[in-house]
A and B are shown apart, each in its own frame.
Chain A
């Protein structure tokens, strides 16, 4: 069945239409159901006793007074619950990776301020907090390891005894033969050292769970805000010693995730254990202070990179050292290797880099652990690459856009020095369009004029691609013990002709209820109002890997299309029997199977009636019911969305403010299933990238005490800081996803820091100062502007 036959004349092509979101009515009217909206009879409320110090032996934990607080029902320590640790592993030798366990509740040692030590369960959340205050914990302090320098210093105290040198991962890769000679002989070698601030992915809905035991099903129900429901089920079952079928994870509406919720947390498992012990539902909703200090954090990385260029500005080699500060624990299932492995495997990005060498390390410190966050190392290495090209352009007297043009990949498929094969994209075209937009709008002239007036306006770009649709092959290459990749979709049509579609992906704001329904509606020639998407329920969905790494449309969407297509074949088979014509003479559309030769049609409802209620009329060999299942995996290196961002900034003397005057994004995500949703993902991603470039940073004092404990210190940008973004679309369809779509969830965040940083440095050009670290604070801008060449 071809795409055309699914959309006969007069049928609406759902793919490519900015149809209104199916999610909106309930979310706009206050009828969404988020985790904290759930109330069950007899429900209790949990809060956690957390470590007040960064690094210590726990010498005593006394919960006696806690249990006497009015309203408190129970309090449990690690010893009370006896739960197995959560351990994430890579299939690598210990010389490369050291697995470390994360206890559900800390036992003899605490490794960061905020680490949970005990769970207090009470009649309401207020009483639970009273109970937490009554806990008595005694510590034998250990020297805290708060920085990379402290972690890697000889003889440093160890966060995990088994991880010598506080190193969880240490890999050296590629090392192209002769690379040292390349650098020795190159006419131009530039160096960039960058440190990026620790961030919080910061979904506005914090993490949370309602745990309850279902006596009839003999099953623990975890209603929890997670991007990875099946991984939470696996982990909870293992920690609690239950069969996996005895745990059901159901995901309510989610108020964002951005990666923080694609790892398994310890609190939801502790709440589940408490519910099992007490035989009553237990709710835990993280408060903002814990979300800022004790949840999963992200991004703190250090790059020390050299690049060699020939006299014409062609890059000859790249030599990188990367250290990622992963905090106290390895996250499950990805491990502490996720950031350094992503960075080292993909750093050459959109450029033709002939020689490459990289050493990448993950270190452990006494800070809250990290999880993947939208972009995963790509915001950082793109920043480094784009700074290297800008610096080389200055040294060689080239325009920043010209040096990029000379190095961008233009012939596809292209297999890079990093052994990654890039599918077709529009790297050069997006740069050219972005530059021409800024030129035509007069920003180059405005910059000249402003400079003459003593103002500081700069223009910066970033060129990048976003690898999406990581299949099992790609994750297996990282040697993950748990290998994500495929997605399974089941479609089921009922006797009213309505379609239920399952997906293993997990929307947390990305509009899957709309976009996946568009794909199914298109494939079956069905009105979108007849399609309902089911996600986030481990009892309803065979298996799924959830939503992360921009995998949902590329992989989940392909599975939906394949399953829908199979159901279409079954509809045609039944209709062929009814109309007594060969199946190849029939096509689907507008809720009907039709025979174009004679104009006869059979509505889907009639075929469903046969499939279920008059199965004696089914053709031989056709099973009753109208269901179909399909899976999809990506067995190559995935598909690459790409974009160029162009930014104009003005730096203000005195305040040090970086004002963004113009933001242009030219993006290419292949076929856009719903362009409005694509633009929403892009704008929102850019806002988070700007947040990292200019505003947000998780900070600690020298004892490892978190100093960004509220939104007063952790500065989330508002509508006054985030500019309007002008988006231009290019379309290079993906050849191997079923819809031609590529993922687009992370690109905005990946490209923004580099473009902002380059624009700031362009404005600083007359000062001779270059800024390479993020966030760029007002203080650094003020001090840079005080320099004169």
Chain B
């Protein structure tokens, strides 16, 4: 029995270690998501949940960049989501010509991300003069400001909310944006820049003394994180076809925080798992009514006691790590062995 398991394990590692594993998984996923939406292979309700999962994965992995990898504590992620949601919605409803919204949707999503990134830059410049607890307060305040700002903007419906969007967010689109976001964030984390981000979490002063330009790194990480929150907001708005300021309050930010810490800080796989479990569990527990809002936090408390770093905390699946990192290390070893053998 154990030998069977062992060889199965080896087989699995061989499959996941293959260069073509991730690309084929992504292509298969995309084809499936397209087919599922086109030919109704999946129940519309299940499709809806899957889309929420995707959007939440984008939110969680982008927040993880700040809270997990960089070790700062931002609690205003829903504020950036709101910026993206409103920007994209205004574009598709009021700016883009009626017949072309379907084609221009990706542009609207991108614009949502970009405007959100810009706002992120404006928030980051003063925020990162503070650290730790103070940064949390600044981002909290930002979230509140965004919410009240939209509530008082009659042009976008104020507290009544904004509607009129077509249902442009489909399963293939969510799949596309989720894969793109996760891919970009992962590559960023495993780059030289990403190493700088990690070093800030570990010891900011030492990081400065190792020639890392910590001011730039923090700014860029925050802008990238806001960008993806904006993307998620844009997708969210065109899935629900209705948004109001209360959807993007502190509670929404807290939900995202829970996904990050449930899945595990400093792990992209963790964010994917955390977002998925959080979203699906809330749906499964729906029959319990209000009690699910008691059960969910309770589960979180239990998790924090037994696994304080979350499900994946600081770890990553091997097949998630960029291939060139592997290859570089392997190449280096082989060279070293050859040199040792010759000498």
Are A and B co-members of a single complex? no
Measured CB to CB, the residues of B under 8 A from A are: none
